[in-house]
Amino acid sequence: MAKFRQNHQQNSGTGMGKQVSIFAALIAGIFLLFKTFSGGETTDTHHPSDNPPKQHEPIPDTAPGHTTEEFEETGGYLKEYFPKGGVDGQLVHHQFFSLSYNEEHEQANWVAYELTRERLNAKWAKRPNNFRPDPKVKTKTATHYDYKRSGHDRGHLVPAADMSFSKGAINETFYMSNISPQVGNFNKGIWRELEEQTRDWAKKFKHLYIVTGPVLNIENLGTIGDRNEVTIPGAFFKVILDLSEPEIKGIGYVMPNEVTDAPIHQFAKTIDEVESITGLDFFSSLEDEMEYKLEKKVNTDAWFIDKKRYAARVKSWNKQ
């Protein structure tokens, strides 16, 4: 009996050791997978509306109805509508958007892309939160460390949610060339409202062309980041062209980089007015008569506003 008890204890100890080893190996494997796929530090605050719905089908790497080769060849956007003028910058083409990079201010002068109903209705890819330098920028971009403990959000110029139709597209929005310093409750407040409202317009009008960027030629709000000294813009602009109408229409916005309870229609501008503020020339490839009609006036009634979203911003978003 004593011999049996001794053997039993030895076997139990050996079994327990194997279980501990297996458990440790499992923990190490989980940790390795987390490091591999998490993309590093994820301190970014993103909009709740950017959370993707539950999905049961694979997310494509290209836009709906197109092949990778088509988008690599064309860029997936209308290049003839790129802004002209303003400060020179390196023109960078990604698969689904382009930008002009301003080395002095360590952010884009502008980004340009298309937004369609078809893309927004596609299944959403998971938001990666993988902020990283843009390898296509020759002079190198800012890094996410420039924003760390700066008191400013890493604000997307091309919203991640606008590119959620494919893994490749949404990942590109986390290049630091697409990021600009924004006051926290501006990013989570009126800027979020405008981004969500723009997606509503894209679903209604089917096909929008969007140019967005910081206003860098007015008094800025200082800099962040000891290494790269990223300029904090005093304002941001967005110009929207509706390409789906028999007679296309457009609207512009210029918003101070600050928290506000004012409705977004108070910041609506004609495209001419945005050109005057930014020094950029938008949509110059349009026929002269069409460009004149498009840029000289804006009918805010044609661009509906969700009043419930505005109420949510004033009540809670501005106070987060």
Map out the domains of the chain with their CATH numbers: 39-319 (3.40.570.10)
Please provide the average confidence, as pLDDT, over all residues in the chain. Answer: 81
Residue 103 has pLDDT above 90, yes or no: yes
Residue 277: phi and psi, rounded to 5, are -75, -40
- The C-alpha atoms of residue 237 and residue 78 are separated, in whole angstroms, by 20
Count of all residues that appear for the chain in the document: 320
Kindly provide the residue ranges of all beta strands, DSSP E only, lying in the chain, ordered along the sequence: 84-85, 90-93, 98-102, 107-116, 152-156, 179-183, 207-215, 223-224, 230-231, 235-242, 249-256, 268-269, 280-281
- The C-alpha atoms of residue 27 and residue 30 are separated, in whole angstroms, by 5
Which one, of 130, 108, 234, lies nearest residue 183 by Cα? 234
Residue 140 has pLDDT above 60, yes or no: yes
Residue 183: phi and psi, rounded to 5, are -55, 135
End-to-end CA distance of the chain: 70
C-alpha angle 138-173-178 in degrees, rounded to nearest 5: 50
Residue 30 has pLDDT above 70, yes or no: no
Residue 28 has pLDDT above 60, yes or no: no
Render pLDDT for 210-258 as a digit per residue (tens, 0 to 9). Answer: 999 999 998 899 999 988 999 999 999 999 999 886 778 899 999 999 9
pLDDT value, residue 287: 74
pLDDT value, residue 247: 73
pLDDT value, residue 5: 37
CA distances from 79 to 93, 161, 178 (A): 10, 22, 18
> b/e map of 76-95 (b: 16 or more CB within 10 Å)?
bbbeebbbeebeebbebebb
- The C-alpha atoms of residue 19 and residue 225 are separated, in whole angstroms, by 48
Lowest mean pLDDT among 13-22, 273-282, 298-307: 13-22
Kindly provide the residue ranges of all beta strands, DSSP E only, lying in 78-204, ordered along the sequence: 84-85, 90-93, 98-102, 107-116, 152-156, 179-183
Render pLDDT for 47-102 as a digit per residue (tens, 0 to 9). Answer: 655 555 444 344 444 433 333 343 444 444 567 789 998 888 999 999 899 999 99
Catalytic residue numbers read 156
pTM for the model: 0.78
- The C-alpha atoms of residue 9 and residue 3 are separated, in whole angstroms, by 10
pLDDT value, residue 77: 55
pLDDT value, residue 50: 58
Residue 178 has pLDDT above 50, yes or no: yes
- The C-alpha atoms of residue 276 and residue 270 are separated, in whole angstroms, by 10
- The C-alpha atoms of residue 23 and residue 3 are separated, in whole angstroms, by 30
User: Across the chain, which distance is largest between two alpha carbons, in Å?
Assistant: 104
